Amino acid sequence: MTVLVVLTDSSTRNEQQQAAALIRRSCGEVREHSPSLLSTVSDLAVVDRAVGHLPQVRHVARVQGDYPRASVQSRMGRPSTVALGEAAFGPGQFTVIAGPCSVDNHDQLMEVGHAVRDAGGHALRGGAFKPRSSPYAFQGLGRRGLELLAEARRVTGLPIVTEVLDVRDLPAMLPCVDMLQVGARNMQNFALLRELGTLRTPVLLKRGLAASIDETLMAAEYILDGGNTDVVICERGIRTFETGYRFTLDIGAVPVFKERSHLPIIVDPSHAAGETARVIPLALAAAACGADGIIVETHSDPAAALCDGKQALPTSRLPELIDGVVNVARVAGRTAGPTMSERNDRQRELVLTGDPAGTVASARVRWR
Amino acid sequence: MTVLVVLTDSSTRNEQQQAAALIRRSCGEVREHSPSLLSTVSDLAVVDRAVGHLPQVRHVARVQGDYPRASVQSRMGRPSTVALGEAAFGPGQFTVIAGPCSVDNHDQLMEVGHAVRDAGGHALRGGAFKPRSSPYAFQGLGRRGLELLAEARRVTGLPIVTEVLDVRDLPAMLPCVDMLQVGARNMQNFALLRELGTLRTPVLLKRGLAASIDETLMAAEYILDGGNTDVVICERGIRTFETGYRFTLDIGAVPVFKERSHLPIIVDPSHAAGETARVIPLALAAAACGADGIIVETHSDPAAALCDGKQALPTSRLPELIDGVVNVARVAGRTAGPTMSERNDRQRELVLTGDPAGTVASARVRWR
Amino acid sequence: MTVLVVLTDSSTRNEQQQAAALIRRSCGEVREHSPSLLSTVSDLAVVDRAVGHLPQVRHVARVQGDYPRASVQSRMGRPSTVALGEAAFGPGQFTVIAGPCSVDNHDQLMEVGHAVRDAGGHALRGGAFKPRSSPYAFQGLGRRGLELLAEARRVTGLPIVTEVLDVRDLPAMLPCVDMLQVGARNMQNFALLRELGTLRTPVLLKRGLAASIDETLMAAEYILDGGNTDVVICERGIRTFETGYRFTLDIGAVPVFKERSHLPIIVDPSHAAGETARVIPLALAAAACGADGIIVETHSDPAAALCDGKQALPTSRLPELIDGVVNVARVAGRTAGPTMSERNDRQRELVLTGDPAGTVASARVRWR
Amino acid sequence: MTVLVVLTDSSTRNEQQQAAALIRRSCGEVREHSPSLLSTVSDLAVVDRAVGHLPQVRHVARVQGDYPRASVQSRMGRPSTVALGEAAFGPGQFTVIAGPCSVDNHDQLMEVGHAVRDAGGHALRGGAFKPRSSPYAFQGLGRRGLELLAEARRVTGLPIVTEVLDVRDLPAMLPCVDMLQVGARNMQNFALLRELGTLRTPVLLKRGLAASIDETLMAAEYILDGGNTDVVICERGIRTFETGYRFTLDIGAVPVFKERSHLPIIVDPSHAAGETARVIPLALAAAACGADGIIVETHSDPAAALCDGKQALPTSRLPELIDGVVNVARVAGRTAGPTMSERNDRQRELVLTGDPAGTVASARVRWR
């Protein structure tokens, strides 16, 4: 069982080393996640006996799974906030990412981008690289799709959320993208998670089709462990026996994620619904049960979509959707819409430090 | 594939027989569910060619599963309303059933009953016969529990919802009960369903742990086929791989049930949640996504409950729950609280026709 | 946690009461399942401290679930044997039940019955009462089906296995049936299980579609608790996301059932397969992994079957099936075919004690 | 629906182009997988009308999913054989891969390697890169593990099977490895699959925890589509509600894979079992139901294993395992052990063509 030890923010390096040494002596191994966060795998009582009496120790707590950094205890119960452009995922806010499944072409993306912005959406999604079950299905526009996303950001002002499939694409993606999505099928692609941990771009981590809540948080821990603290979890439906829709939206996971982790959690109602008419009811359910936002597929002409048009909400219905979720979220105890109060104002300008050839080893970024 | 044929309400017996004969000639077999509802198993085109041109035919439609009576097409898209005491399940209403898992004793039940009524609940639930995985677990108070439920109805005025496990208990139950619940584990106990079809007491049919949406509607069809039209479906969580809670609440099934059936559908957030703190978020999700109501376990002293205390909402939190769901339901497009407009005012006085010994063969009831 | 205490067979009534009293004093409650088997819900250490030192105590053990009688520990690791006609389910044997899904008519049943006997099958199955998802599907021949089963027994000499759906059918069934099957959908129909516990007819208990291994054993415990010790478990496939066949045959449950319970466990390959061509491979897998037998659907003319013809093995392939499973079972460490060594030679002649009207209360039987 | 068209082997380039042109005219798009294999997405009847009459067309068939190359129809029903060292996966053979979960150290690997060879195993498995749910769990020895695997191959003569997690590791892996395993969690890591398609090293593709049979075959199609025809599927257990073991071994998938694909399919009994005692029963079940082999975790000292020791079979029991599966496979219709008759005698000596720095772009291999 993972036990963590939270030290006071004012603890000195000496005090931190003292606590670590005492844990190591009693439990064999200690992990130092940050100056004020230590963990070990042991019994709570053993750890408490070893360091619970020290003045620099604020909190000794057992964590449900092996995810000390992602655990709600590591922040003493305070939910974290992840900024995305002018918006943010976190307490008191309800944030809407919307956009087409795939970037189909220039006009489609600009049209949808403006519709999302005008309806009050906070970020634009769109796939340039698409993970498809069949190798013969449309796989996205690739690099051309990234250029279009960059243009859509320029003309709409919305931050861009898009999926990364291959670590080797990162150098090309980073200048165009504000949040990197890890799809359900890659949730335990640990090589990819490790790489994202070295970046400072926020990550939207979708829960796998058969991933438990704890496995999802351990996947997030891979990213946090690398130093990237901006992780948002996304519940998007799990695989069950029911075939009446596409996936079973696990709405009950939302409060459990909140109990166990400080990370924001949003819901994708589109993939679970599988059909347009069910998207708004599921989005409202997400807003009611305490999620921090939603990510929705929308299209100006669903019938012409190159991917997943059947579940795309027409852009004409975006105002109904966004008004609905904002109102329900307000009733359920959140301030309406994205208050800017907890917005992270770190400079988001990227400075690529890689070599001109853009190899993976250089796919690191710095922040001003 | 089941195809149904809806005739005009003004069609004559002759016209009905003409339609039935034409279907029989083309498709082999015709089922006459009511004077104006026929069905057959065939292709839509074949049936349409056979009777689509007749003036007495309003509608020819394919049904998703083999449940012509439960299908939304059988009522031409109009949801049905099921009355329960002063309240009802149906359009424009959101109805709350609450009460203890099991009837533990006199004081507990009366205390909870008053709390439910005072908080604005519409019906009182409580188990006299409890289905328990282990034969050694508390199995309910049985007949004594029924007497207490009857008393609680008298003193609170609330209608009573309780579970039936055995057809042989029905004669004792009917005088004390306003709605008979079929538990998830009995959803395909067809002998029980057939028996309930002969009654006129409303039935709350819980979806089985691994029952598909269509199988649930076919189970309802067993009851409807017997002539009892007052069936309410209850989504209460399905079995999946996730162990972070008790059952996976299948919120996405709610809009699918609505697409396929005219029957009201309510949600049980308690069994899925497994823990008190998650009950309200799930109840709000149910109200947001279009359910017709909820059934919630509540207890004045959860720690002392003889059954499922861990998931019981303290009665002190009932006002928060009920205000929450009513407000969310209103935002999601329902009128707040149970409007009485669609209340069914059939006389609910029961007239037992059985013999004095109360054997099963006589467990029939009549309505004035 | 359930803890059981096995006493020596030679313990006196006084010694039994002494052990029970000591457990009661330490743990609050003691359950006396038989003179030599006690259980309580407590910690192993507590119970061991209370009675472990007594000379009449042979064994104190923790049971995985709340099924002291069904537990492997209750028989000190010795598997039990359940007799069925000339055959039996238990160590050193591999027993084959085969027959049609439903009793369709006289000629079909006699033809299949002879084919089963001639191929070396040990018992004949056939449904007189069929549980069907749709109320409009063929529900079995009912009483007429029972008569045909009785005739098939007379002419083939094979014992009869058939499903019971309704406690009220038992008086009619008992004279015609050698083993009562509880279907997957009724596995937690506790009223039915309790009733079967009062009988001395062997019961074939099918695991529910979403029932855990422990829940299945607790369902068996309901029957054992009533005094009927002849229970055989049947794994018949569970509900999962996969749609490539009908149900997911949980072959891995077989060794787990064996670890946890002394009850025989057989496998139904037909319902999982869903298609004829897959039945033999799954039957061989069952024989290889340690099951005590199989129950297979077979038909002389699958295309004409009134129920589940798609998965019925033609009777012409029964010799291939039965030779295959016997040979595989032999390689996997069982003696080939049903050795008669452990055959239970209790007189199987039934003596109905009910009243002439045959009401449920009288559905008891005695054994010579 | 995918429809494929198989041409005669003797068809000329002109005849192939004629067939392709006719399909394109009727169906819009034609995919040319090889000179004699074309496919399109259309109706069977449309394609048959377009080209069924041509003398160069041998076969027009509908495929269950979008995997024309993996489909059983593409080889007219003939199963394919994949060579691995002296052994092979395919008809008439039953091939055993065994070894430790992870390469722990030099002595462990050599000891296990010799035990596998001496017991009659055909290949040695061992993880150098381990995918672990927690970032803090042992992640494998990495490059050092590869060196040890190469040494084990040298001293035992057994071919090496190991898992690849990251395309960037391929250049270092290829000289040390004879078969690359894709783990369940990476089954839909399409970037990795595409990369493996460019190689000529055989691939062992494990089915994902919630992947359908068809999705697994479409993942295989990604590799086949790149030109690598040596793909073996591995069933290793799926996620279900049951917690009595680690995963639900989907034995029923084996015959379905065989119906739909010509690719060999093996079974991993270890991960499903979760505990040593259940490994042999599940391995026997695999041999009985028609699998082409197994991959088993074994360790000379399970208690000291750095990974998954709980489910590792002690090497001392390997003879019992391998004799058992060989005997069961023989009874179930396979020749005992790996006949060498279908052994692929292509020279397996690798010639790396990459640049000295070993970047991914150069991770191609050639065959003599």
Q: Is residue C202 part of a domain?
A: yes
> Sign of the C-alpha dihedral, residues D105, D110, D111, D116?
positive
Provide DSSP, D37-97. Answer: EEEEES-HHHHHHHHTT-TTEEEEEE-SSS-TTTBGGGGTTPPP-EEETTEEESTT--EEE
Instruction: Chunk chain A into consecutive blocks of 10 residues (it has 368) and report each block's average pLDDT, rounded to whole numbers.
Output: 94 96 94 95 95 95 96 96 95 95 96 97 97 95 97 97 97 97 97 97 98 98 97 98 97 98 98 96 97 97 92 96 94 57 31 33 29
Are A63 and A23 a contacting pair, CB within 8 Å? no
Residues in chain C: 368
A271 within domain boundaries: yes
Residue D155 parent element (H or E): helix D143-156
Q: Indicate whether B247 and B109 sit together in one domain.
A: yes
Q: Mark residue B295 as left, alpha or beta (left: phi above 0; alpha: psi -120 to 50; beta: remaining).
A: beta
pLDDT at B337 > cutoff 80: no
- To the nearest whole Å, the CA of D294 is away from the closest chain C CA by 14
* pLDDT per position as a tens digit, B273-325: 999 999 999 999 999 999 999 999 999 999 999 998 999 999 999 999 999 99
Looking at the structure, do residues C33 and C104 belong to the same domain, yes or no?
Answer: no
Q: List phi, psi (to 5°) of A233.
A: -85, 145
Q: Say if C244 is an interface residue toward chain A (CB within 8 Å).
A: no
Cα C173 to chain center, whole Å?
A: 17
B241: closest CA of chain D, how far (Å): 4
> What is the β-pairing status of strands A123-125 and D123-125?
unpaired
Query: Is residue D22 in a domain?
Result: yes
- The answer to whether C290 faces chain D, any CB pair under 8 Å, is yes
Tell me how far the alpha carbon of residue C364 is from its chain's centroid: 19
- Maximum Cα–Cα distance across chain B: 65
D190 at the A interface (CB within 8 A)?
yes
- 3-state percent helix, strand, coil for chain A, nearest multiple of 5: 40, 20, 40
Q: How far is A137 from chain C (nearest CA, A)?
A: 22
**Which DSSP letter does residue D216 get?**
H
Do the beta carbons of residue B270 and residue B313 sit within 8 Å? yes
Cβ contact, residue pair C135, B221, below 8 Å? yes
Residues from chain D that touch A66, judged by Cβ atoms under 8 A, are 133-134, 136-137
Cα-to-chain-centroid distance, residue B303: 29
Q: Which of B136, B132, B162 is nearest to B147 (CA)?
A: B162
Q: What are phi and psi of A157, to 5 degrees?
A: 80, 0
Contact list in A for residue B244 (CB cut-off 8 A) is 212-214, 253, 256, 260
Chain D residues touching A182 at Cβ < 8 A: none
**C270 pLDDT above the threshold of 50:** yes
d(CA C224, CA C82): 13
Q: Note whether residue D111 is domain-resident.
A: yes
Residues of chain C in contact with residue A239, where contact means CB-CB under 8 angstroms, are 241
Give residue D163's Cα distance to chain centre.
Answer: 11
Q: Which two tokens stand for residue C53?
A: 């030192």
Q: Which residue, among B31, B188, B193, B198, would best test binding to C if mutated, counting the most C CBs under 10 Å from its CB?
A: B188
Residues C121-175 pLDDT 10s: 999 999 999 999 999 999 999 999 999 999 999 999 999 999 999 999 999 999 9
Q: What phi and psi, each to the nearest 5 degrees, are found at residue A90? A: 165, -175
Question: Which two three-digit tokens encode residue D111?
Answer: 């000891």
Chains B, C: CB contacts within 8 A come to 91
Supply the CATH number for residue B279's domain: 3.20.20.70
Confidence of residue B178 (pLDDT cuts 50, 70, 90): very high
| Residues of the domain holding B109 | 82-331
List the one residue out of B54, B146, B156 whose CA is nearest residue B98: B156
pLDDT in tens, B22-67: 999 999 999 999 999 999 999 999 999 999 999 999 999 999 999 9
Residue of D31, D33, D136 to mutate, testing the A interface (most A Cβ within 10 Å of its Cβ): D136
Nearest Cα neighbor of C113 from C179, C147, C157, C176 is C157
Tell me the shortest Cα–Cα distance from C188 to chain B, in angstroms: 6
- Our measurement of the distance from residue C100's CA atom to the centroid of its chain's CA atoms, rounded to an integer in Å, reads 18
Contact with chain A for residue B294, Cβ under 8 A: no
Question: What does the pLDDT look like over B71-102, one tens digit per residue?
Answer: 999 999 999 999 999 899 999 899 999 999 99
Nearest Cα to D158, choosing from D216, D219, D106, D99?
D99
Residue A194: helix, strand or coil by DSSP? helix
- Chain A residues with beta carbon closer than 8 angstroms to that of D194: 135
**A41 and A120 both lie in a single domain:** no
Within an 8 Å CB–CB cutoff, is residue C240 touching chain D? yes
Measure Cα distances from D265 to B56, B271, C200, D197, D204 in Å: 58, 40, 46, 18, 9
Spatial contact of B73 and B110, defined as CB atoms under 8 Å apart: no
Predicted pLDDT at A333: 80
Cross-chain Cβ contact B190/C238 below 8 Å: no
- Looking at CA atoms only, how far is residue D281 from chain C in angstroms? 4
Residues C329, C315: Cα–Cα separation, whole Å: 21
CA distances in angstroms from C56 to A255, C18, C42, listed in the order given = 52, 10, 20
Q: Are B50 and B184 part of one and the same domain?
A: no
Element housing C284 (H / E):
helix C279-288
Counting as contact any 3 or more CB pairs under 8 A, the partners of A are: B, C, D
Q: What is the pLDDT of residue C355?
A: 36
Q: Which two tokens stand for residue A355?
A: 């070599």
Please tell me the predicted confidence (pLDDT) of residue D364: 29
**Residue A292 touches partner D, C-beta closer than 8 Å:** no
Whole-angstrom Cα distance, residue B321 to residue B315? 10
Torsions phi, psi of D286, nearest 5? -65, -45
- Cβ distance of C134 and B221 shorter than 8 Å: yes
For residue B165, the distance in angstroms to the closest alpha carbon of chain C comes to 7
The answer to whether residue B227 neighbours chain C at the CB level (below 8 Å) is no
> What is the structure's pLDDT at A295?
98
User: Which residue from C31, C132, C187 is facing B136, i.e. has the nearest CB?
Assistant: C31
Q: CA of B38, closest CA in chain D: separation in Å? A: 34
Q: Does D334 touch chain C (CB under 8 A)?
A: no
Residue type, B172: A
Residue C267 φ/ψ, nearest 5 degrees: -125, 140
Cβ atoms of D248 and D239 closer than 8 Å:
yes
pLDDT in tens, chain D (368 residues): 899 999 999 999 999 999 999 999 999 999 999 999 999 999 999 999 999 999 999 999 999 999 999 999 999 999 999 999 989 999 989 999 999 999 999 999 999 999 999 999 999 999 999 999 999 999 999 999 999 999 999 999 999 999 999 999 999 999 999 999 999 999 999 999 999 999 999 999 999 999 999 999 999 999 999 999 999 999 999 999 999 999 999 999 999 999 999 999 999 999 999 999 999 999 999 999 999 999 999 999 999 999 989 999 999 999 999 999 999 999 987 654 433 333 333 332 333 333 333 332 222 223 33
Q: Is A244 on the interface with C (CB under 8 A)?
A: no
| Nearest Cα to Cα of residue B132 among A100, A94, C65 | C65
Give yes or no: residues A10 and A156 share one domain: no
Question: What are the tokens at D270?
Answer: 């270890």
DSSP string, B6-39: EEPTT--HHHHHHHHHHHHHHHS--EEEETTEEE
What 3-state DSSP class applies to B76? coil
Q: Which chains touch D (3 or more CB pairs under 8 A)?
A: A, B, C
User: How high is the pLDDT of residue B333?
Assistant: 80
> Looking at per-residue confidence, does B270 or C336 come out higher?
B270
CA dihedral A95→B271→A216→D211, nearest 10 degrees, is -110
Sign of the alpha-carbon torsion through B297, B303, B304, B306: positive
- Give B272→chain A minimum CA distance, Å: 7
| CA pair distance D7, D36, nearest whole angstrom | 5
- Is it the case that residue C353 has pLDDT exceeding 60? no
Average pLDDT, rounded, for chain C:
90
Give the best residue of C133, C182, C223, C231 to mutate against chain B (max B CB count within 10 A).
Answer: C133
The angle formed by the CA atoms of residues C159, C162 and C165, to the nearest 5 degrees, is: 155
- Rg for chain B, CA atoms, rounded: 21
Per DSSP, the three-state class of A249 is coil
Residues B231 and B177 in one domain: yes
Inside any domain, residue B228: yes
Question: A231 and A136, same structural domain?
Answer: yes
Beta bridge partners of B87: B84
B166 to chain C, any CB pair closer than 8 A? The answer is yes
Considering the domain boundaries, does residue B246 fall inside one?
Answer: yes
For residue C326, is it left (φ>0), alpha (ψ between -120 and 50) or beta?
alpha
Bridge partners, residue C163, by sequence: C181
Q: Are residues C149 and C33 in the same domain?
A: no
pLDDT at D61: 95
User: Looking at the complex, does the CB of residue A215 fall below 8 Å from at least one CB of chain B?
Assistant: no
The residue among C170, C151, A352 whose CA lies nearest residue B191 is C170
Residue A302 DSSP class: G
Q: For chain C, which chains pass the contact test of at least 3 CB pairs under 8 Å?
A: A, B, D
Residue A342 tokens, joined: 């907890």
Contact A239 C241 (CB under 8 A): yes
CATH number for the domain spanning D24: value is 3.30.70
Q: How far apart are CA A210 and CA A241, in angstroms?
A: 12
Q: Within 10 A of D281 (CB to CB), how many other CB atoms are there? A: 24
Q: Give residue-wise pLDDT tens across range C61-85.
A: 999 999 999 999 999 999 999 999 9
A10-19, B206-215, B346-355, D246-255: which range is least confident on average? B346-355
Contact assignment for A238 to B243 by CB distance below 8 Å:
no
Collect all residues of chain B within an 8 Å Cβ-Cβ radius of residue D250.
none
The confidence score (pLDDT) of residue A116 equals 97
Q: A36 with A175, same domain?
A: no
Tell whether D243 is within 8 A of chain B (Cβ): yes
Has residue B77 been placed in a domain?
no
Pairing outcome for strands D2-7 and D57-62:
antiparallel
A31, A33, A66, A133: best to mutate for the D interface, most D CBs within 10 A: A133
- pLDDT for the residue numbered B335: 55
In a domain, C70, yes or no: no
Query: Within an 8 Å CB–CB cutoff, is residue D209 touching chain C?
Result: no
In this structure, the answer to whether residues B271 and B164 fall within a common structural domain is yes
| Yes or no, beta carbons of C135 and B218 under 8 Å apart | yes
B114's tokens: 């008053």
Number of domains in chain D: 2
CA distance A245 to A260: 29
Query: CB distance from A272 to chain B under 8 Å?
Result: yes
Give the least confident one: B155-169, B339-353, C282-296, D296-310: B339-353
Do C57 and C94 fall within a single domain?
no
* Contact status, residue C140 vs residue C173, Cβ threshold 8 Å: no
Helix, strand, coil in percent for chain B, rounding step 5: 40, 20, 40
Cα C289 off chain centre by: 18
Q: Does A320 touch chain B (CB under 8 A)?
A: no
Nearest to C188 among B185, B190, B219 (CB): B185
| A247 neighbors A236 (Cβ within 8 angstroms) | yes
Question: Contact A98/D153 with Cβ under 8 angstroms?
Answer: no
- Which residue spans within A107-178 are E strands per DSSP? 123-125, 160-163
Q: How far apart are CA B173 and CA B191, in angstroms?
A: 17
Tell me the chain C residues in contact with residue D67 when contact means C-beta distances shorter than 8 Å.
Answer: none
Residues A96 and A227 in one domain: yes
| Interface check D241 vs A, CB under 8 A | no
Which residue in A122, A351, A82 sits closest to A202, CA to CA? A82
